[in-house]
Amino acid sequence: MSAPNPATLWGRVLVDELAKGGLEAVCIAPGSRSTPLTVAFAAHPEIDVYSHLDERSAAFFALGRARRTGEPTALVCTSGTAAANFHPAVMEADQARVPLLVLTADRPAELRDSGANQTVDQVKLYGDAVRWYAELPDPEADERKVRSLRTTAARALAETGGPDPGPVHLNCPFRKPLEPLEVPDAVPDAFAETLAGTGREDAFVETETGSMTLEADRLRPLLAALEDAERPLIVAGPADPAAISGLNPEHVVAVADRVGAPILADPLSNLRFGPHVETGSDYRCVYGGYDGYISELPAPDVVVRVGASPTSKPLRHALRDSDARQFLLDPAGAWREATFTATELLATDLGSAFETLAELFENGAAIETDVDEEWRARFDAAERTHWRVRDDALAADALESVDEPFEGAVLATVFEAATDPATIFVSNSMPIRDADRFARPQRADLTVLGNRGASGIDGITSTALGAGSATDDPLVLVTGDLAFYHDSNGLLAVDRCDVDATIVLLDNDGGGIFHKLPIEDFEPPFTAQFKTPHGLEFEPLGDLYGLEFDRVEPHEFGDAYRESLESAGTQVLAVDFESEANHRRRDALQTRVLEDLTVTDQ
């Protein structure tokens, strides 16, 4: 590795090692101090470079790509506030276990806290939100330093992964010249021939990280609890595809079948949809309507939980209010259970745990379980009722026979009419709650993503487009108007990063979710400070970013959506709703489900 000066050498060595370590993509925002990194990334034949102009959007785009692939995506920015713009996405990556490699250019030590331009304190900028922080040494053609640099690249990639993936921050000081300008003798020819200079054919340090496994004997208490359970339940909370990549859903289904446990699958669990799901009148094991009926069913006595805390508040409350033994299985051994009802925490890789459990059952561990025969039947009945009521509502909407069309119908259609496969990104606030309640389990290979780590609405569009950039799957984004406004800059990636999407915009002019909260009854300040209607008509964003923008009537949505899925380019399908009426509609549907259930029970 030769270079005209130390800064250029640093960029080239770092990028060379990152590529050898498997890094495939980087998001770069323009800047001067980061020139050595940008030049090296742009010149590398094996790394895809996505250029962004707003660092906040850049970071969420990288987050989305990493969410979808499970592979680290790098981020590059110049010094100063640019780095702080990465902070929201770094936070989400931390909470949601997404591998991000953040490279911030910085002034060298002698210029810090000196009043030098665009110089701020970037040391440990993201606090404890990163898995690892390191400051690169001052660039210099010194063998030990360069070996440390190559090792740091390998280490940084490794630290983004493992059982608890997340963001890593390398702060990278550079001294001028930043461009590939010749500085005589700064990088001697002889240096290029050293091991530090040449590196190895493959990564300087190949890294492998094991995973937590519990051998069969240590799973026996869980097995015994399941055998003894009368009302066992499996709850699958949000988990990105990578988080369950080693988990064979058939093993979960096998365990659930054997012990008679319904699997309540969060829309973000990546277990609600897929080939393991039986549909039709026999729901087999995967249930999706629980948000609407769980409050009416008996409490479980044994619960096995995987993934993060479920989106459904009724489900969280049902778990809280039960006296069940609750087993949390988590590959990082993390305590992600905010109702504090867990009784056992098992730090274990999910794939091996369920494989072992399935094998134990297969080998006759449980000759018979104590499951209550009514238990699964109650869930089946409730599930049927829930979807029947929903389907009736959809039919009414399609006939325009209701006064106020329903946001939930859009969410239902988004999933049922999706292509197979598809990547569906669902925004926070009401869209994910409606997906939770109205998206029926199905066999299609749908990858469902959301920013549910910190549940912000700040980078939704960019995260979705980043996810879309990673595969050839059709991409659908379902978002509300506040999130759409918040990350309107992210739409620039449609063109600059060449992503096609169908963007479903549920436009109810403000924060509809606040109607769910008691603040609804305090006016003022409810409308001005909480609901915050803005009156924005978003069509001009279509013109600005070269997107097709169609405002469709709710009953036309299904056709427009199917057409968009078939079309090239990015379409925004905006559908107007009135949020207060929608909340009343949700309540009414819920009431009908509960009434029907009561009738069935009698």
Where in 449-508 is the site for a second copy (CB under 8 A)?
Answer: 454-456, 458-459, 482, 485-486, 488-489, 492, 496
Nearest to 101 by CA among 26, 37, 51, 36: 26
Amino acid, res. 369: T
Using CA of residue 265, residue 267, residue 271, residue 274, what is the dihedral sign?
A: positive
Nearest to 283 by CA among 380, 417, 371, 179: 380
Rule CB under 8 A: which of 415-454 touch a second copy?
454
**Which range in 119-127, 149-157, 434-442, 568-576 contacts a second copy by CB under 8 A?**
119-127
Q: If DSSP codes are grouped into helix, strand and coil, which group holds residue 241?
A: helix
| φ, ψ dihedrals at 525, nearest 5° | -100, 15
Rule CB under 8 A: which of 533-562 touch a second copy?
534, 536-545
309 binds a second copy (CB under 8 A): yes
Q: Which of 117, 281, 363, 602 binds a second copy (CB under 8 A)?
A: 117
Q: If DSSP codes are grouped into helix, strand and coil, which group holds residue 189?
A: helix
Q: Which of 7, 9, 82, 575 binds a second copy (CB under 8 A)?
A: 82
| Shortest distance in whole angstroms from residue 592 CB to a second copy | 28
Q: Which of 158, 247, 308, 597 binds a second copy (CB under 8 A)?
A: 308
| Shortest distance in whole angstroms from residue 517 CB to a second copy | 6
Which residues have C-beta within 8 Å of that of residue 545, sequence separation ≥ 6? 491, 492, 494, 495
Q: Which of 2, 22, 24, 30 binds a second copy (CB under 8 A)?
A: 30
45 binds a second copy (CB under 8 A): no
Q: Which of 54, 227, 266, 355 binds a second copy (CB under 8 A)?
A: 54
373 binds a second copy (CB under 8 A): no
35 binds a second copy (CB under 8 A): yes
**Cα→Cα distances 325→74, 213, 224, 322, Å:** 41, 21, 12, 9
81 binds a second copy (CB under 8 A): yes
* Residue matched to tokens 């360069």: 146
Size, binding site for a second copy by CB under 8 A: 91
Measured CA to CA, the distance from residue 473 to residue 488 in angstroms comes to 23
Measured CA to CA, the distance from residue 26 to residue 17 in angstroms comes to 14
* Residue matched to tokens 């409730």: 382
| Shortest distance in whole angstroms from residue 213 CB to a second copy | 23
Measured CA to CA, the distance from residue 183 to residue 206 in angstroms comes to 33
Rule CB under 8 A: which of 504-533 touch a second copy?
511, 514, 517-519, 521-522, 524-525, 528-532
Q: How many helices (H) and strands (E) does the chain have?
A: 22, 18
**Which range in 54-62, 201-209, 260-268, 372-380 contacts a second copy by CB under 8 A?**
54-62
Quick one: 203 or 435, whose CB is closer to a second copy? 435
| Shortest distance in whole angstroms from residue 119 CB to a second copy | 8
Q: If DSSP codes are grouped into helix, strand and coil, which group holds residue 507?
A: strand
Rule CB under 8 A: which of 164-183 touch a second copy?
177-181
| Shortest distance in whole angstroms from residue 50 CB to a second copy | 11
| Shortest distance in whole angstroms from residue 415 CB to a second copy | 22
Nearest to 312 by CA among 279, 345, 287, 283: 287
